[in-house]
Amino acid sequence: MRCWADAAENSHQHLGPVNVYMANVDTELAIQFKMGDRKAFSMLVDLYQKPIFNTVYRIMHNPEDAADITQIAFVKAYERIDSYDPSYRFFNWLYKIAVNEAINMINRRKRRQDFEYDPPKKLATPDEDYALTEMSSILHSALATMTFDHRTVIVLKHLLLLSYSDIAGILEIPEKTVKSRLFTARHALKQQLVQQGYSG
């Protein structure tokens, strides 16, 4: 099994939404893998290991946790490929697995819903600064003060640019809950940015 953090080290990949063409490609690859083509799964790993690692890092704020969760997510996707429904986007299914693994890791550490922690003052190695290429240091700090639920919807909506329906599917909550949670999260983020002196 490859090291996802090492594989992602040199990436400055934009984490915007997967376009229709890419969605069709990964669905076809998933179908091929379900039919026994292991090379198709390797291609899916190459396609999504960097976005998954970066997404989980932005949620967990810990590169070791992000690497572990990314590896677990791909292992589970491999093991559960028979349960994948090709009528849905593969990347949504994979993100759902990764986010659920992040939640599971947090729940194993603390029994309360909100995850409070001291964010690392610097990344584990200088090479890992790619994980912050689209985030200012002020925004990074502000996100680190937020609850896991609020931080997650901000990342999925404003950094990955996913739709409300996609987020609802990944988090397994109603769209109205996504919108409500995002409203509260935006307000909390704005307050944190103001407190840190950002007014732009």
Of 123 and 136, more confident: 136
What's the per-residue H, E or C state across 158-192?
A: HHCCCCHHHHHHHHCCCHHHHHHHHHHHHHHHHHH
Locate the domains of the chain by residue range: 4-195
Note the pLDDT of residue 137. 67
Residue 198 has pLDDT above 80, yes or no: no
Question: For 4-195, CATH number?
Answer: 1.10.1740.10
Q: Taking the complete model, does pTM exceed 0.85, yes or no? A: no
| R_g of the chain computed on alpha carbons | 17
